[in-house]
Amino acid sequence: MTNIRKIAHKAGVSVSTVSRVLNDHPYVKEEKRQKVLQAVKELNYIKNANAVHLSKGKTYCIGVVLPFLNLPYFGEILQGIAGEALKHGYHLKVFQTDYEKEAELDAFHRLQMKEVDGLIIASRTNSLETLSPFLHGQNVVFCENLHGTEKKVFINHYEAIRAGIDHLQPRGHKEIGLCIHRTFGTNSEERIRGFSDGIEASGQQVRKEWIFTECIDLKDGREVLLHWQELKQKPTALIVTSDQVAAGIVSEARRKGIVIPDDLAILSFDNHPIAEAFDITSFEVPIRKLGEEAFNLFLEDNASAPVILETHLIERTSV
Partner DNA sequence: GTGAAAGCGCTAACAG
Partner DNA sequence: CTGTTAGCGCTTTCAC
Site residues for DNA per CB under 7 A: 1, 3-5, 12-17, 19-20, 22-23, 27-29, 31-33, 45, 47-48, 51-52, 54-57
Give least dist CB 210 to a copy of itself, A: 23
The secondary structure of the chain in percent helix, strand, coil, rounded to multiples of 5, reads 50, 15, 35
Residue 259 as a binder of a copy of itself (CB under 8 A): the answer is: no
For residue 222, the tally of other CB atoms under 10 A from its CB is 20
CB 4 within 8 A of CB 36: no
Closer to a copy of itself at the Cβ: 47 or 101? Answer: 47
- Cβ contacts of 251 within 8 Å, gap of 6 or more: 218, 221, 222, 278
State the Cα–Cα distance between residues 311 and 103, nearest whole angstrom.
32
- Please count the residues of the chain: 319
Kindly write out the interface string for residues 112-151 of this chain, putting x where it contacts a copy of itself by CB under 8 A and - elsewhere. Answer: xxxx------------------------------------
What is the size of the binding site for a copy of itself (CB under 8 A)?
A: 48
Residue 185 as a binder of a copy of itself (CB under 8 A): the answer is: no
Query: How far apart, in Å, do the first and last CA atoms of the chain sit?
Result: 66
Q: Which of 276, 300, 310, 315 binds a copy of itself (CB under 8 A)?
A: 276
219 binds, among DNA, a copy of itself, none (CB under 5 to 8 A by kind): a copy of itself
Residue 306 as a binder of a copy of itself (CB under 8 A): the answer is: no
Residue 284 as a binder of a copy of itself (CB under 8 A): the answer is: no
Give least dist CB 55 to DNA, A: 3
State the Cα–Cα distance between residues 139 and 252, nearest whole angstrom.
44
Residues 9-68 that bind a copy of itself (CB under 8 A): 46-51, 53-54, 59, 61, 68
- Could you give the count of Cα atoms lying within 13 Å of 108 in the half-sphere of its Cβ? 22
Residue 99 as a binder of a copy of itself (CB under 8 A): the answer is: no
276 binds, among DNA, a copy of itself, none (CB under 5 to 8 A by kind): a copy of itself
State the Cα–Cα distance between residues 62 and 117, nearest whole angstrom.
6
> Quick one: which of 38, 124, 173, 66 has its CA closest to 164?
173
Q: Please give the backbone phi and psi of residue 69, each rounded to the nearest 5 degrees, phi first.
A: -105, -10
Q: Please give the backbone phi and psi of residue 133, each rounded to the nearest 5 degrees, phi first.
A: -60, -20
Closer to a copy of itself at the Cβ: 219 or 227? Answer: 219
Q: Which of 15, 22, 28, 94 binds a copy of itself (CB under 8 A)?
A: 94
**Which residues sit at the interface with a copy of itself, rule CB under 8 A?**
46-51, 53-54, 59, 61, 68-72, 74-76, 78-79, 82-83, 86, 91-96, 103, 110, 112-115, 217-219, 244, 247-248, 251, 273-274, 276-278, 288
